[in-house]
Amino acid sequence: MDTLQKPHVVLVTFPAMGHSIPSLDLAKLLASHSLTVSYVTTRTIERRLRGLMDESPQAAVLDIQLVGLSPQSAIEAIAEGRESMDLLPNGSSLAVISFIKSLREPFEQWAEEQGSRRPVCIISDMFIDWTVHSAERFGSVRVVFAPFGAFGTSVFHAICNSITTNTLRKEGDSVIIDNILSSPLKFTKEHMPRRFLESDSADTRLSILIGMMQSLTKCWGMLVNTFDELEPRYLQHLKNLLNGKPLWSVGPVVPLGGIANTRGKKSDISEQKLVQWLDSKSPCSVIYVSFGSQAFLSQEQTQALARGLEASHQPFVWSIKISPDTVSAESNRAELCASYLPEGFVERDKGLVIWGWAPQLVILSHPSVGAFMSHCGWNSTLESILMGVPMVTWPMFAEQHFNSKLVTEELGIGIQFCQHREAIPCEDKVEKSVRLVLCSDEGTEIRKRAVAFQRLGKRSVGGGSSTLNLKDFANEMHNLMNCKAE
């Protein structure tokens, strides 16, 4: 089909791996439905993704344009080349938000230059609120993309709302949410980010977050990275919030064309070495340990975790990420091991340590992997579900606490052993949790439930609900373009 006849949709993405990876997967899915897609991000992420796209066999056939924007004046704390959360130390969110705000002008300038290719739709990350005005300015519809699940998004929205209206209901250490389901949802401190427990009105991050969540429903429709069968009650709640506007669950968005070794970033281990190592282990015996792209552990935390893992006597693959501000480029492997791991840990050879980026989908899909120790970022959670792997959870911040509640209490496909980013995990709890999931009857039951959700997830993206919803969304884009042309 001629490019001119295709609807042009623009994804405006948030510069964190947990947002940019699913947004790119979504971009590819949309482009495979005869849409012209522009993927708007920061220069740093654009450069990184361009490198990966060039290696992909679909790059030549999919109509996706990567657009890297820079602010007109530099933002302090975000040096050029570091415009991505995974390249910034913990606690950089305020600087990133200022950075994002400063991209509105260059974005609108770019959109202006598109002339007759002006987008019919701006698909905006749920954390980017200025797209409300850009969509108005260009006569595009605004569709919000929620890279969180329906439960996480609903709870986030409900809490922000009740803080705004001063109606946040607390009972002792717990927060009660009344307006999502017909019966109240109780969140103990294990499942609630500290920010919401304290809800300090002087907390700038909290006010910004509330502002962002207020733009959630200022949209024409919503795309959610989940599937209908996983969280039906919470999807219904979001539909109620949207008040008749459409919602499409299109997840789990995963790479078109199967599992790629280079998803998001180039992996820091050879796939061959990794797979050989995994092949040498028994089925479902290995625990994969990784806390996403932006939770950097301290020496104390890695030491405690290492001791717990070793005590479990189960093999592990552990992707360790150290804060960019504490590790100099010159740090070598031996120095890292000496400061972050117990003495002799590496020599005892109980597991495989990856210093840096791991090919997560390759690992999770290997038959030897029987559990995923995760921070419960939504992408990691969905990927674990899609691979039928039970979870051992340590939610660290933001909606990860809610995801962990969903995984452990609602879906019954994991257990939580720790919470909050700054906590030092209890070694004994690490050991017991790993053994419970991998070596006990209770673990077998957890695995059965995980496999049942895996089947549903595979069906949804293999021709079922998510496939149909995606087609429906693409059709709507074609309809919108035809209406404009009339």
Residue 182 C-beta: closest distance to ligand UDP, Å: 30
419 part of the interface to ligand UDP, by CB under 6 A? no
**Strands lying side by side in the sheet with 185-187:** 169-171, 174-177, 185-187
Could you give the angle at which helices 131-138 and 104-113 cross, rounded to 10 degrees? 20
23 part of the interface to ligand UDP, by CB under 6 A? no
> Which one among 294, 312, 408, 416 touches ligand UDP, defined by CB under 6 A?
294
Instruction: Report the alpha-carbon distance of residue 286 to residue 437 in Å, rounded.
Output: 11
Q: How far is CA 208 from CA 72, 203, 373, in A?
A: 22, 9, 31
| Total residues binding ligand UDP (CB under 6 A) | 19
Q: How far is CA 75 from CA 15, 102, 207, 209, 324, in A?
A: 14, 8, 20, 20, 18
Catalytic residues: 19, 125
Instruction: Report the alpha-carbon distance of residue 86 to residue 126 in Å, rounded.
Output: 19
Q: Which amino acid is at 418?
A: C
406 part of the interface to ligand UDP, by CB under 6 A? no
393 part of the interface to ligand UDP, by CB under 6 A? no
153 part of the interface to ligand UDP, by CB under 6 A? no
> Closest CB to ligand UDP among 168 and 372?
372
Q: List the structure tokens of 440.
A: 């006990």
388 part of the interface to ligand UDP, by CB under 6 A? no
145 part of the interface to ligand UDP, by CB under 6 A? no
Residue 240 C-beta: closest distance to ligand UDP, Å: 26
358 part of the interface to ligand UDP, by CB under 6 A? yes
119 part of the interface to ligand UDP, by CB under 6 A? no
320 part of the interface to ligand UDP, by CB under 6 A? no
> Which one among 196, 372, 378, 473 touches ligand UDP, defined by CB under 6 A?
378
16 part of the interface to ligand UDP, by CB under 6 A? yes
21 part of the interface to ligand UDP, by CB under 6 A? yes
Q: Which amino acid is at 196?
A: F
296, exposed or middle or buried, with CB in 10 Å at 0-12, 13-18, 19+?
Answer: buried
Instruction: Report the alpha-carbon distance of residue 272 to residue 274 in Å, rounded.
Output: 5
Task: Indicate the SS3 state at residue 412.
Answer: coil
18 part of the interface to ligand UDP, by CB under 6 A? yes
Residue 374 C-beta: closest distance to ligand UDP, Å: 7
377 part of the interface to ligand UDP, by CB under 6 A? yes
> Which one among 90, 124, 360, 416 touches ligand UDP, defined by CB under 6 A?
360
Decide: 237 and 126 in contact? Cβ < 8 Å: no
Instruction: Report the alpha-carbon distance of residue 340 to residue 306 in Å, rounded.
Output: 9
Q: Which candidate, 82, 83, 79, places its Cα nearest to that of 103?
A: 83
316 part of the interface to ligand UDP, by CB under 6 A? no
> Closest CB to ligand UDP among 360 and 465?
360
264 part of the interface to ligand UDP, by CB under 6 A? yes
Stretch that binds ligand UDP, among 29-37, 149-157, 377-385, 477-485 (CB under 6 A): 377-385
Containing 459, the helix (H) or strand (E) segment is helix 441-461
Q: List the structure tokens of 12.
A: 């405006």
Residue 360 C-beta: closest distance to ligand UDP, Å: 3
441, exposed or middle or buried, with CB in 10 Å at 0-12, 13-18, 19+?
Answer: exposed
> Closest CB to ligand UDP among 264 and 308?
264
> Closest CB to ligand UDP among 174 and 261?
261
Instruction: Characterize the bridge pairing of strands 351-355 and 316-320.
Output: parallel
> Which one among 225, 290, 314, 368 touches ligand UDP, defined by CB under 6 A?
290
> Which one among 90, 93, 215, 319 touches ligand UDP, defined by CB under 6 A?
319
Residue 27 C-beta: closest distance to ligand UDP, Å: 15
Per-residue H/E/C for 336-352 = HHHHHCCCCHHHHCCEE
Stretch that binds ligand UDP, among 64-72, 106-114, 343-351, 352-360 (CB under 6 A): 352-360
41 part of the interface to ligand UDP, by CB under 6 A? no
Phi, psi at residue 145, to the nearest 5°? -105, 120
Q: Which candidate, 388, 374, 387, 390, places its Cα nearest to that of 435?
A: 390
Q: Which residue is nearest to ligand UDP (CB)?
A: 18
Beta-bridge partners for 145? 125, 223
Containing 458, the helix (H) or strand (E) segment is helix 441-461
> Closest CB to ligand UDP among 134 and 226?
226
> Which one among 44, 249, 379, 469 touches ligand UDP, defined by CB under 6 A?
379
468, exposed or middle or buried, with CB in 10 Å at 0-12, 13-18, 19+?
Answer: middle
Stretch that binds ligand UDP, among 71-79, 218-226, 249-257, 286-294 (CB under 6 A): 286-294
292 part of the interface to ligand UDP, by CB under 6 A? yes
Name the site residues for ligand UDP (rule: CB under 6 A): 16-18, 21, 263-264, 290, 292-294, 319, 357-358, 360, 377-380, 383
